[in-house]
Amino acid sequence: MGCMRKATLLRVGVYSLAVVAGAVAVAAFVTRPLPAAQAPATTPGLPPEAMAWIPGGEFWMGSEEPRFGDARPVHGVRVGAFWIDRTEVTNEQFLRFAEATGHVTVAEKSPRAEDFPGAPAENLVAGSVVFAPPAGPVPLDSHFRWWSYLKGANWRHPEGPGSDLQGREKFPVVHVAWSDAQAYAKWAGKRLPTEAEWEFAARGGLDRKPFGWGDEFKPGGKFMANSFQGHFPEKNTAEDGFAGVAPVGSFPPNGFGLSDMAGNVWEWCSDNYRADYYPTLAAAGGVAVNPQGPADSLDPAEPGVTKRVMKGGSFLCTDQYCSRYMPGGRGKGDPDTGTNHLGFRCVQDVPAARPVREPR
Ligand SMILES: [Ca+2]
Ligand SMILES: [Cu+2]
């Protein structure tokens, strides 16, 4: 459930989704052995605070999961080494950034009429997109049945003007636009991960497993991620302990020591989103070295809307609808639209790294 645009909500409120374009052409998938990721003998210097070392390496990226039309084919990718935040950026971390810089997020500013043609003037009020479950079961044909634009919602007020961050210091910051995440990363001396880096990190050193921890969603009956149980979207039984967002690190970390790489909140990546990017990479042959995403964006479901990649799924992900807590799944979003299930984490380059761009 990663694609909900503020612009559309502001304009019409209720809207029928365009038919999602059929599965992208699948390039021939040739199974070739890739060397397992190998950690260098030593990590460079002291670990930055609260970051984990990702050794880099080659891996199979993407997913053959039938519902993920844009994650095929699985293709070989190499990423360099980097540091990555062990957790999603929290409210207290984002508060330090906001206080240090005076940064005002997109959701805190009134939408400008020229940016939202067709929106009635009374709708041009600062706010953000929140999950608002319907009273009863609904067809899963349109996410407008459970998303709405809430005036006054932003990262300081996640559920609108009546809510605040009291007791939510360790929760992931939400309602951040892609540019807000970029600004934070720059301030922190970091950057957003590429989609390839993010997925390599999320796989925790495992090879082509459906989940970041292995083969089963609930190994030994144990929840490994904050997702949605019950009946989507109206009845969340919160069997995993959380009906909404959870404090970071509430579930077991993966093999690289990273928490919440599945579920909790979606995480922005730096890449442009194109549904046909993986077939393009696979068709180029060989191993894609440190892919940075396509030069432009195309989502056949909403042509003309530039989108960025997001990964990991959220507390709203369920196998009834989306299942994108699987590391190979891909999300996409309008960079100006934050929601209450979308956040981010950052990466940092290794200072003494060799150049990671190599010829194919
Ligand atoms: Ca949950
Ligand atoms: Cu989902």
Q: Please give the distance, rounded to the nearest whole angstrom, from the Cα atom of residue 266 to the centre of ligand 2.
A: 8
CA of 325, nearest ligand number: 2
Residue 36 to residue 29: CA distance in whole angstroms = 19
Q: Please give the distance, rounded to the nearest whole angstrom, from the Cα atom of residue 279 to the centre of ligand 1.
A: 33
How high is the mean pLDDT of the chain? Answer: 88
Q: Please give the distance, rounded to the nearest whole angstrom, from the Cα atom of residue 316 to the centre of ligand 2.
A: 6
Contact 204, 213 (CB under 8 A): yes
pLDDT band at 177 (very low <50, low <70, confident <90, very high): very high
Interacting residues of 186 by C-beta distance below 8 A, sequence separation 6+: none
Q: Please give the distance, rounded to the nearest whole angstrom, from the Cα atom of residue 267 to the centre of ligand 1.
A: 17
The percent of residues above 70 in pLDDT, for the chain, comes to 86
Residue 311 to residue 17: CA distance in whole angstroms = 22
Interacting residues of 196 by C-beta distance below 8 A, sequence separation 6+: 61, 77, 79, 288, 290, 291
Residue 270 φ/ψ region, left for φ over 0, alpha for ψ in the -120 to 50 degree band, beta for the rest: alpha
Chain-centre distance for alpha carbon 341: 9
Long-range contacts of residues 294-297, Cβ cutoff 8 Å, at least 24 apart:
296/272, 297/272, 297/273
Q: Please give the distance, rounded to the nearest whole angstrom, from the Cα atom of residue 243 to the centre of ligand 2.
A: 14
- Tens of pLDDT, residues 274-329: 999 999 999 998 999 999 999 999 999 999 999 999 999 999 999 988 899 999 99
pLDDT band at 80 (very low <50, low <70, confident <90, very high): very high
Q: Please give the distance, rounded to the nearest whole angstrom, from the Cα atom of residue 289 to the centre of ligand 2.
A: 28
Contact 314, 48 (CB under 8 A): no
CA dihedral (222, 228, 230, 235) in degrees, to 10, reads 150
Q: Look at domain 1-19+86-275+295-350 and name its CATH class.
A: alpha beta
Q: The tokens of 329 are what?
A: 């799944």
- Tens of pLDDT, residues 40-55: 434 555 567 799 999 9
What single-letter amino acid sits at 90?
Answer: T
How crowded is residue 253: how many other Cβ atoms within 10 Å of its Cβ? Answer: 18
Q: 83 - beta bridge partners?
A: 53, 348
pLDDT at 239 exceeding the cut of 90: yes
CA of 226, nearest ligand number: 1
Q: Please give the distance, rounded to the nearest whole angstrom, from the Cα atom of residue 249 to the centre of ligand 1.
A: 13
pLDDT band at 24 (very low <50, low <70, confident <90, very high): very low
Helices assigned H by DSSP within the chain: 6-12, 91-101, 178-187, 195-202, 277-284
Residue 132 to residue 159: CA distance in whole angstroms = 10
Domain definitions of the chain by residue range: 1-19+86-275+295-350
